[in-house]
Chain A
């Protein structure tokens, strides 16, 4: 992306953040959210975040599926999920995941 495009992205992120965080502060006391819409709001972020990281963990740089044990990102990601479920600590999980990832990467010669 060009420099101008990056700043356009920054602007777009600002608008997206303001729309999500501030709009109900401005008009929220005058409207009520229907149940169906609330459900969608609840489900959407988890689905979006999963959709962002799934290709990063399951595919290589050329867009091919990599589900073998020789894929350090997939293994480190699974290890991090298990670790987070046990400890519920973000910082520890990131450090642990990076250690697993780095160990596997060096062991596999990547």
Chain B
């Protein structure tokens, strides 16, 4: 957040348009993102199947995947839909699951602060985990460089398309597979795959264990409030563990 983009008025008058389409940067971005597209499509497939298996109709599934475009938030909403939780609980849950994107957008947004707000809104809305990571590997600093926008778009648009193709295939496939196969469990497995890399230190691990325990213990609470209680308990635990560990290390080091 500390890195500020250079104000536009200080740029030389004869400056080229940094945001013009740059075929070389586009090609480079596409090549960087291409290896991830298959995985993104497969992840979309799993979410598509899970939506159908949660009892959504095909138009509802298509609407959700095309409008929302947030796999983990969609997966998180499904058990709540099945349990008939109130809409505000689904909203709160999706917001919490999406919080990691606040960090990502804090890293990415300064690169494009000069764009009109509608463009910034759109770019933010379709930025996934993978695109942010790949973009920041290529452009670690926020200074204005020609081709940046093309590179970002070449990461984002194929990523969006791969996700939607996989997701729609999953919706159509999910409707054709008998429910006793338990394909909805693939959604749980997918969440495991997003959660494990987030557990980067003992503080998060403690938070995850406490959150799991509270979620099970408070499962019977009305309106799925056990879920929100679990998140809160897990977060507080993680913060306490982290601060305790920081105190211990600062005492150990002179």
Residues from chain B with a CB closer than 8 A to the CB of A76 are 185, 189
Residue of B nearest to A64 (CB): B219
Residues from chain B with a CB closer than 8 A to the CB of A47 are 207-208, 210-211, 230-231, 234-235, 238
Residues from chain B with a CB closer than 8 A to the CB of A6 are 56, 60, 81
Q: What residues make up the interface of B, taking CB atoms closer than 8 Å to A?
A: 1-2, 4-5, 38-39, 42-43, 46, 56-57, 60, 63-64, 67-70, 72-77, 79, 81, 84, 87-88, 90-91, 93-106, 108-110, 112-113, 117, 120-121, 123-125, 127, 181-183, 185-186, 188-199, 203-204, 207-216, 219-220, 226-227, 230-231, 234-235, 238-239, 242
| In the complex, chain A residues 36-50 whose Cβ is within 8 Å of any chain B Cβ | 36, 38-50
User: Interface on chain A toward B: helix, strand, loop, or mixed SS?
Assistant: helix
Complex CA gap A3/B81 in Å reads 11
If the complex has contacts A16-B91, A22-B124, A91-B39, are A46 and B208 also in contact, measured as CB distance less than 8 A? Answer: yes
Complex CA gap A62/B102 in Å reads 36
Residues from chain B with a CB closer than 8 A to the CB of A84 are 192-193, 196
Among all A-B residue pairs, the 8 with the closest Cβ atoms: A47-B234, A22-B124, A20-B98, A25-B124, A54-B212, A51-B230, A16-B94, A51-B215
Q: Report which of A12, A32, A40 forms a contact with B90, defined as CB distance below 8 A.
A: A12
Q: Report which of A5, A18, A33, A46 forms a contact with B125, defined as CB distance below 8 A.
A: A18
Question: Is the Cβ of B105 less than 8 Å from the Cβ of A28?
Answer: yes
